[in-house]
Amino acid sequence: MSGEILVTERQALGLDEEHLVSVQGSCKIHPLVSAPLQSLAQQCSAPGCRLAIASGYRSFDRQLAIFNAKARGEREVLDDRGQVLDMQRLSPREQLYAILRFSALPGASRHHWGSDMDVYDPAAMPADYRVQLTLSECVPGGVFGDLHCELDSHLQGSDFYRPYERDLGAIAPEPWHLSYRPLADAYVKVLSRDLLGDCLQSAELELKPVVMRHLDDIYRRYVQLEPGSGSN
């Protein structure tokens, strides 16, 4: 892709969705992603294989509701072994980083941009199967194993990639999360630490004092995706 892509601060924070288009029913993505995604889907065409979107755009308010529900104990927070954490026993800082392992801070989710999506393979699912988006679904032999094998070969040479492929110590690995790089890079540039901080400061956010105290670390490792254990 050539030329500058026009992105705004409000789009980067998930506060504006007017520019998005609907695909596959209720999923919304950025219009610049439509054609490249279609061509990637055509490439992933092994018998019985179909690339579909489980989750595309998510608004700031939706992400805020998820984050706050986890912080309030209204929604489960899991550890790396899939066990439910007893949040009451954790310090506010531990609570924050436990949530961030699997859920983005509102304003800092790549799902705000329309450039990123969680994918699955409806053609491979048994009847009544409920998509979970877990690692075991994506490995060879898993229900979406064939799709991920296709993606392994076709992502190379495409503008899509898996930003959470490896565990860098912050966000847990999510092979099902694809990002359209030309657009995502433009949004990362617009989403500065101060823009995010100002937005969160005025939001009804749980754990706000500890979020603001650790915002530099969160921004570096969870937005810019730099490796390191940080202050966690």
Choice between 101 and 177, CB closer to Zn ion: 177
Q: ∠ CA 166-65-68 to the nearest 5 degrees?
A: 80
**How many CA within 13 A on the CB side of residue 41?**
16
Residue 16 · residue 8 · CB < 8 Å? yes
3-state secondary structure of 197: helix
Q: Which residues contact 188 (CB under 8 A, 6 or more apart)?
A: 223, 224
Question: What does the alpha-carbon distance between residue 164 and residue 133 come to, in Å, rounded to a whole number?
Answer: 13
Choice between 66 and 207, CB closer to Zn ion: 66
Binding mask 14-33 for Zn ion (x = CB under 5 A): --------------------
Q: Which stretch binds Zn ion (CB under 5 A): 62-70, 118-126, 143-151, 222-230?
A: 118-126
Choice between 104 and 186, CB closer to Zn ion: 104
Residue 118 is a binding residue for Zn ion (CB under 5 A): yes
Instruction: Tell me, by CB under 5 A, how many residues bind Zn ion.
Output: 2
CB-based closest residue to Zn ion:
177
Task: Please state the three-class secondary structure of 96-148 as a single string.
Answer: HHHHHHHCCCCCCCHHHCCCEEEEECHHHCCCCCCCCCCHHHHCCCCCCHHHH
Least distance to Zn ion, CB of residue 134, Å: 13
Residue type, 130: R
Binding mask 42-81 for Zn ion (x = CB under 5 A): ----------------------------------------
Q: Which stretch binds Zn ion (CB under 5 A): 110-118, 141-149, 187-195, 196-204?
A: 110-118
Choice between 97 and 176, CB closer to Zn ion: 176
Residue 177 is a binding residue for Zn ion (CB under 5 A): yes
Residue 121 is a binding residue for Zn ion (CB under 5 A): no
Least distance to Zn ion, CB of residue 145, Å: 19
Least distance to Zn ion, CB of residue 13, Å: 17
Question: What does the alpha-carbon distance between residue 190 and residue 173 come to, in Å, rounded to a whole number?
Answer: 25
Question: What does the alpha-carbon distance between residue 29 and residue 114 come to, in Å, rounded to a whole number?
Answer: 4
Q: Which stretch binds Zn ion (CB under 5 A): 76-84, 171-179, 194-202, 221-229?
A: 171-179
Question: What does the alpha-carbon distance between residue 192 and residue 75 come to, in Å, rounded to a whole number?
Answer: 29
Q: Give residues in contact with Zn ion (CB under 5 A).
A: 118, 177
